[in-house]
Amino acid sequence: MYKKVFYLCLLALLSACGKHEENQIESKYSITFDDRNVVDVRDLVTDLEIIELDTATKALIPSLVDISVHGNKIFCHNNKESGNIKVFDLSGKYLYQISHTGRASNEWIQLTSMNINEKENAIYLTDSRSKKVLTYNMDGKFVKSMILGDYFCFEVTHDDGYYYSLTHPYMSGWTPDEHTDHKIDIYDDNGKFVAEDVPMKLNDARIGEMSDRKFYMGQERCILSPSMDNTVYELSDGKCIPYITYDYQGKTPMYDEKDIQEAIDNKKWMCGVDKTFYSGKVVESSELVIRRMGDYDSKDIIFNKSNGKVVVTAFDSDIQSQTHLSDYFLYPLPKCYADGYFYGHLDVELLGLPEQYTDGYIPKCLEDIAERAKQGKINNVLVRYKIKA
């Protein structure tokens, strides 16, 4: 009898090996909110500045998908063709690029993500095609590369001795399997698999956020915001620990499993027009955490950690206006935070649209940029600003 009990316990232990059980730890913060009282973002943003990126040929970025600011440098992820990293100073002057396409150890086939850990002086680049993470220092010098596991890796970051690799059900035919029924694979510094973590709550395969970064490395911690998950996690000591739990009580219905299956069956993207979802887009400063809900018809949740205040606003998004340039065009969702400022990316291509769409709606501070955009004389434009919330 005792031997039978022993073997049953041993079997249970072995089956749990390599998995972190669904975390029963309560989040450090839990917030409840709705979208009945949306604060105008123009009442929250202060000290707004415009940064035009260098227009030299070598500085051009045809497809800017991510930015990260560290020290006196702006790192820009260009997703065109095989991808590269362009680096500028804070005024927008071009400095250098990281661009190594190929199959050597310091090269990639398709660059899918950029994550920067300033305290480690390291840039972590993910090549989804070769299942490889490449490490460069902040000056663009190659350090090392590593293949993590034997399955597709979509986005990778590193902190305090562990690699965290994001999975995605796209690679398993849109339906989660044993490789993608959780969000994170964890490896040690030698590339040895440690555990899987963050069970997938809802299949996010048809959410149009595949190119958006889900990890965010702030000044104090690295966090993860999985799409369609009501929890943001802190990555610490090889674990994903619940950090902020969101409880949306608004009037817009949330996507559910039926909606997800219909989107998969019909091969359509769920863009959050009539319904909403917890987005993977998140930014943290020393005081604020900003997380988006929805996509096209979005709301943005600003949580003040110091006083517990929650403000619901709406930075610019694709559905702010369908008939003319959005009133909030000058206020894009922040992609990163550094030294007191949030940084966002202006979609300057919209400034080149026909006059019936833009006439009377271009902010005065962008009129000159708009004229040059129509002539194809603009690279990319960033804005930086402070937020009072």
Q: C-alpha distances in angstroms, 144 versus 84, 132, 134?
A: 17, 10, 6
Q: Which two tokens stand for residue 349?
A: 């291509």
SS3 53: coil
pLDDT reported for residue 9: 42
The residue among 367, 329, 344 whose CA lies nearest residue 42 is 329
pLDDT reported for residue 10: 39
Residue holding tokens 């590369």? 145
pLDDT reported for residue 12: 42
Q: What are the helix and strand counts (H, E) for the chain?
A: 4, 25
Instruction: Work out the number of other CB atoms within 10 angstroms of the CB of residue 317.
Output: 20
Number of Cα atoms under 13 Å in the Cβ half of residue 131: 11
- CA geometry: angle at 325 spanning 320 and 326, to 5°? 30
pLDDT reported for residue 386: 98
Return averaged pLDDT per consecutive 10 residues of the chain, 389 residues in all.
39 47 78 94 98 97 96 95 95 97 92 95 93 95 92 91 93 87 96 96 88 90 96 97 97 94 92 90 97 92 97 84 81 96 93 84 92 92 96
CATH topology of domain 26-387: Neuraminidase (2.120.10)
The residue among 338, 297, 312, 261 whose CA lies nearest residue 70 is 338
